Amino acid sequence: MKKIILVAFMVMSFNAMAIDLWVKGGLNQGLGDEKPTETGYVAGLEVSQGILGFVDLGVGAGYNGNLKFDQPEKNGKGTNIQYDLVPVYGFAKFNIFPVAIKPYIVARLGKAFVVNDKTDYLSGNSEAEAGVYGALGLGAEFFSSLQAEVVGSVTKMENNPTGEDYVNMVSLTIGYNFF
């Protein structure tokens, strides 16, 4: 009973502070010469709060999955290159003109992590490391509970088995606001 009361209190607190909890999902596609060969998927969770009526500030985390790359000729680090990225970031969302359908510009900056690395490395050890994550995009909010975004992102990579220093992607996501 105490757990139910605690959860109910937390939900009411989110509503009182005007905190938004967005759950997102969608597709991503790589860009550039060494881009992923297949369309991947995106899942995310963001928490934000409105400031000044036209700016939302918040934090979020995502999962960019199914990143499979062709084996480039110039690289001798591994074969069957496949890994996923998890960006953790802060963001600012600028509402262009807040009406029934609210278009906005979103900017994200944070750190990404390589997970689920299935690359067959010649050394036998996972070597890829992600670094700074940045993204910029356009979106629209509908009925205060749905949103759609198109976002371009760049992730700095160290020891990337593709030989490239950055992973560039564009994502199309749909989100739902629980609070």
Domain ranges of the chain: 20-177
Say yes or no to pLDDT of 76 above 60.
no
Give residue 73's pLDDT band: very low, low, confident or very high (50, 70, 90): very low
3-state secondary structure 40-94: EEEEEEEEEEEECCCEEEEEEEEEEEEEECCCCCCCCCEECCEEEEEEEEEEEEE
The answer to whether the CB of 59 falls within 8 A of the CB of 91 is: yes
pLDDT of residue 119: 66
pLDDT in tens, 123-162: 566 667 788 999 999 999 988 789 999 999 998 888 776 6
Give residue 176's pLDDT band: very low, low, confident or very high (50, 70, 90): very high
The answer to whether the CB of 67 falls within 8 A of the CB of 30 is: yes
0.85 exceeded by pTM: no
CA-CA distances (angstroms) from residue 117 to 6, 36, 126?
Answer: 38, 14, 7
CB atoms within 10 A of CB 25: 13
C-alpha span between 58 and 49 (Å, rounded) = 6
pLDDT in tens, 84-123: 889 999 999 999 887 778 899 999 999 999 887 666 566 5
pLDDT of residue 152: 95
pLDDT of residue 78: 54
C-alpha span between 3 and 8 (Å, rounded) = 9
Instruction: Using alpha carbons, select from 62, 105, 124 the residue that is nearest to residue 87.
Output: 62
> What's the CATH class of domain 20-177?
mainly beta
In percent, the amount of the chain with pLDDT more than 70 equals 74
Instruction: Using alpha carbons, select from 109, 111, 113, 176 the residue that is nearest to residue 149.
Output: 176
CA terminus-to-terminus distance, the chain: 23
